[in-house]
Amino acid sequence: MSGYVELTGDNFDVEVMESSIPVLVDFWAEWCGPCKMIGPFIDQLAAEYEGRIKIGKVNVDKEQDLASQHGISMP
């Protein structure tokens, strides 16, 4: 999990809301086809822009409450 931050309910506010740099948040699931397709691109962005932007990933299966708080629903 290099290049990005794994976001949870415990660290979301500090890592995202209080970040001094822009943050892209990827809500994803292991079983989600479109998530798997875009995942490598997001990983590439994390490596390319490290230090200038922060990439955070939220596993919606593990962080259902966090996903719900932000209006994220997976079919």
Q: What is the CATH number of domain 5-69?
A: 3.40.30.10
Q: Give pLDDT tens digits for 17-30.
A: 999 999 999 999 99
Here the contacts of 49-54 (C-beta below 8 Å, separation 24 or greater) are: 50/3, 51/21, 52/21, 53/21, 53/22, 53/23, 53/24, 54/4, 54/5, 54/15, 54/16, 54/19, 54/21, 54/22, 54/23, 54/24
Q: Is the pLDDT of residue 39 over 70?
A: yes
Q: Is the pLDDT of residue 57 over 60?
A: yes
Q: 5, 25, 29, 35: which is the annotated catalytic residue? A: 35
Rounded to two decimals, the pTM is 0.87
32 as an active site residue: the answer is: yes
23 as an active site residue: the answer is: no
